[in-house]
Structure 1
Amino acid sequence: MANPIAVLVEDDPQQAEISEGVLETAGFSVRSFNSIAPARVYLSTSTDLIDLFVLDRRLPVKEGEPATDEFGDELLKEVRSNHPDSRLIVFTGFATVRHIQESLQGGGQLPAQDSQPIDRVTVLEKDQSLEFKEHVVQFRRLLQSLDDIEIITPSGSDPLNELDKRVLRRLAFDYRGVSIVVASLAGGLTEASVWRCEINRSEGRVATVVAKRVKSPGSPGGLAELLPRAKTTATVRTLSGLMAGGYINVLQIAGESPYPLMEIIAEQPAQAVELARPVWDALHGVVAQRRTLTVAELCEPLIAWERLSGLIGAYGISVPAGSLTVTTHVGPRHGDLHPGNVLIDNGQAVLIDFDSEAFAAGALDPITMLISTLVHPASPIRGAAWPVVSEIESAFATGDFGQGHPCELWFRGVQDWISECRTTEREYWALVLAYAGRQLRYQDVLDDREIVERVVAIAKRAAEALANS
């Protein structure tokens, strides 16, 4: 297991040698810099999970230039903003009360169990070497307690990256667990991870939850509060700290073996529709307002119209003017609805992952449900020979689409839901165009020639229909 990473920025060679020795002795892998410019280059290009920053307050921008407190304070501000849950230790030769207050303001604390929480930001004077060592050792001990937690994954599953490992250990740590058994569920368009997690202490299992890695903690209210409780999972807690600035939403589940709807659409399409229908009905029942928008405004929750024009224009498709007006019904929408975000828990379908929630058109969710089945990397249909471009050109958006395919009943069910939710033809084709075009910015789509051909065919059909609407 690799040592955690510490970044040291110190222009005094003697002090840098001392600090680096303390960090390495404690078990950190040190990235050392003697000025701000090379440190900034590293921080802007590295994908390393950085746990600790040790910064001098008085620093030069480049080696050999004059050092000032102002330059060091700028770096501290950048680090605090871009690495919001890393540990910071700031050395200053002149620690004024005002500087301490400014450095500590909003710093917060890092998670702990049996000891006092650790302050995220600490200011020390240069002669406090013993205190520095104590802070470093204390923090390294916290990181080791995370690394001690065992992660168990199913045989044959894809390896977890370092950030995912940290996130899962952080989750188990919050439950005072010693091991966590992890099964991956389908992620969303944001490529965030979703897992079913069994958390164990030495005496046995203490929790079974679904964990979703998110970029922000979210806020109360929204679509999840408007749906019947049986149709959505409750977020029982949101965790932060030591996860590269990210968060974990911990979702309550009822059954022992929840699975994403995505897993059964290929083999049991009729059952997939039957399970999903109550969730679709609940979404369709959310109160909405009739509005007239431009198509650019309509599609903004998916993609900016100018960005869309650039993406599909590269394939020779002309995008109609974004000023076209369109009638729709606007309300809270899931925003990233695909079969992986419908979890079958204890025999009932529930929604997860409200990270892309938007106030948008009623047809948005059913359209993303339809097309995502063809393009989502976890879909069992993606990669098959169907649909060929000619079928998209002749049958997409009709009741004949998917006829004769093993998943015909799935596509028929989703098409029925679209018909219930859409307001106008123009609304439908604008959203299809936006969602299809949006796929062309994802590398997993661009790496698959057949998927690109399908997406381009859908976008071309939508652009022509929109222009003629």
Structure 2
Amino acid sequence: MTAHILVVEDDESFIEELKQIIAASGGPTIPTFVSNREDAVAKLESGFFDFAILDLKIPTAAGTTDFDPEHGKYVFQHVRKVSPGTKILVLTGSPSDDFIAPLLAHKHDADIWSEGGKVGTVEFLKKIELDQAPEKISRVVTAIHALAEIELHTNGLNLSTGEDRLVRIFSKTFKAVVCSVHPIGTGKSGARPLRLQMYDQTGAPIRDVVAKLSELAKMQDEDARYEEHVTLLDGAATPRKMKLLEFGAGAMAGLFYQLANGHDASMFKTMAEEDALAAKAVAATADALAGWSDGKNQERRSIASIRGQWVSDERAAKLQAEYGLDWAAEFENRMIQTRWCCVHGDLHGENILVSPEGGVLVIDYGDVGFGAAAYDPMTLELSAVLQANPTLGPAWPTADACRQWHDLEAYLMGCPIPEFIRACRAWSEKLMVGRRELAACAYSYLLRQLKYPDTDKDRILALLEGVHGCWGDS
């Protein structure tokens, strides 16, 4: 496992000494040397670094002589901004430590590479004490090299360096020696959901895990949503959070959840193989999430405020204009009764894992928050015809069927998964105050899907016609 090191230093004598120290650090390394603020920022924007060694008193650009500690501080802050998981060693030649205190505010103590003990994510070293640098640099290189002890089976997946780091660090935390990595779903959030199967040195399975990997801010946000909302639900159908990894992977962080044994198929896969089992799993999902909606009061809200939880006003106006939804502005101004409560927010068929008996595990909590109660079952129902899954092709729903969405029996003519669709609609009807809420939730989800470049726009627009027709029946 190769350690990627960024060195920001302008003094040639120190550069040569650091090159020798890094070369003798006890493991493979790829050091990148830059001498000024501009080049450092450019490297940080384009590369991955496990470790950054920063001189503070540097110039702004090559060929300039405006040496100032402020330029080094800028690079420090930029590392924290674009690569917050990167450990930093600050080199200073100044006899004064006055400027160190503000930088120490960014220091954390963490077991960055699962070594079994915490280290500082930010350290300082005076240049007159450079004899201490070999130990500090060697410790980082050795810790990263030790991650190679984890045998990773990627099963054809192409993991980025940061993703690879996170999986190995997590596996090492639980003393796994082998970890097999499998994809889960094809979400549109930019996060990478993975399924990990870990094994100990005897070959025995340790634990199946759901990992979600993305930029640090997103993972911290999902962690907070989990603590606020998901912990209130029945733990049998929601995975227990195991760990949030914030350091060791550059710009990336990871959330890891315990996966119950036997939940090997997604809802999409289940409906492709057995419609009745998928319908049973929908009912189990409704029961699992009932703690969010049971006993919640109704509210009077505009359709625009319901849509606004998922699509901004500015984006909605652009989509309405681009796709000729002339009726949408007046539609959004209408007030309806709704049950306002916590919802999953992204309950498509890949975010529900199903057991052979129809039990479920609901995963991925990046969008958990408040919304209209019927939004989750509407998302699940409509995801089956809009997101990539193994069930449906171009034959159903036809454009004519989509326009009959508000008439369930007409909509289901020729449907290959009628029991699943009926179960979703029954769940919606259980939660909704009336059909106007049903229309508002479906409209919000469909407008959200128009944002993405790879969705079937003709199908969405035809479904929107069917949703608009729902209002006339309500």
Correspondence for 1:392 among 402, 406, 416: 402
Q: Give unpaired runs (5+ residues) of structure 2.
A: none
1:368 maps onto 2:376 in alignment: no
Query: Using a 3 Å threshold, how does the CA distance of structure 1 residues 114 and 174 change in structure 2: closer, same or farther?
Result: closer
Q: Which residue of structure 1 aligns with residue 451 of structure 2?
A: 441
Q: Give unpaired runs (5+ residues) of structure 1.
A: 446-450
Coordinate RMSD, CA, aligned: 2.8
User: With structure 1 as the length reference, what TM-score do the two structures score?
Assistant: 0.88
Matches for 1:256-335 after TM superposition, within 5 Å: 256=262, 258-284=264-290, 286-287=293-294, 288-318=296-326, 319-321=328-330, 322-335=332-345
Q: Which residue of structure 1 aligns with residue 29 of structure 2?
A: 28
Q: Which residue of structure 2 aligns with residue 58 of structure 1?
A: 57
Matches for 1:175-194 after TM superposition, within 5 Å: 175-186=174-185, 188-194=187-193
Q: Which residue of structure 1 aligns with residue 5 of structure 2?
A: 6
Q: Which residue of structure 2 aligns with residue 136 of structure 1?
A: 137
SS state at 1:204 partner:
coil
Q: Summarize deviations over 1:218-259 as a string: whole Å, max 9, x none.
A: 236443233223232222333332133544333233425633
Matches for 1:108-147 after TM superposition, within 5 Å: 108=108, 109-113=110-114, 116-147=117-148
Q: Say whether the 8 Å CA contact 2:56–2:69 is kept in structure 1.
A: yes
Q: Which residue of structure 2 aligns with residue 203 of structure 1?
A: 202
1:300 and 1:231 mapped to 2: Cα distance? 29
Matches for 1:176-255 after TM superposition, within 5 Å: 176-186=175-185, 188-205=187-204, 207-214=206-213, 215-217=218-220, 218-219=223-224, 221-255=227-261
2:343 and 2:168 mapped to 1: Cα distance? 32
Q: Summarize deviations over 1:378-431 as a string: whole Å, max 9, x none.
A: x21355443232321234563332322221221222122222222244433333
Q: Which residue of structure 2 aligns with residue 458 of structure 1?
A: 463
Q: Say whether the 8 Å CA contact 1:8–1:30 is kept in structure 2.
A: yes
Q: Which residue of structure 1 aligns with residue 149 of structure 2?
A: 148
Q: Summarize deviations over 1:30-53 as a string: whole Å, max 9, x none.
A: 333322123323434x2x332111
Q: Summarize deviations over 1:332-388 as a string: whole Å, max 9, x none.
A: 1111111221122474212222221011111110111112112223x2135544323
Identical counterparts, % of pairs: 22
1:308 and 1:147 mapped to 2: Cα distance? 47
Compute the displacement of 1:121 (Å): 1.0
SS state at 2:423 partner:
helix
Paired residue total: 458
SS state at 2:278 partner:
helix
SS state at 2:314 partner:
helix
Compute the displacement of 1:460 (Å): 4.9
Q: Say whether the 8 Å CA contact 2:306–2:371 is kept in structure 1.
A: yes
Q: Which residue of structure 2 aligns with residue 102 of structure 1?
A: 102
Q: Which residue of structure 2 aligns with residue 448 of structure 1?
A: none
Correspondence for 1:401 among 388, 392, 411: 411
Q: Name the aligned partner's letter for residue 294 of structure 1.
A: S
Matches for 1:31-50 after TM superposition, within 5 Å: 31-44=32-45, 46=46, 48-50=47-49
SS state at 1:303 partner:
coil
Q: Name the aligned partner's letter for residue 231 of structure 1.
A: A
2:464 and 2:178 mapped to 1: Cα distance? 47
User: With structure 2 as the length reference, what TM-score do the two structures score?
Assistant: 0.87
SS state at 1:280 partner:
helix
Q: Summarize deviations over 1:134-164 as a string: whole Å, max 9, x none.
A: 222210111111133111244xx54333333
Matches for 1:67-86 after TM superposition, within 5 Å: 67-86=67-86
Compute the displacement of 1:24 (Å): 5.3
1:4 and 1:464 mapped to 2: Cα distance? 59
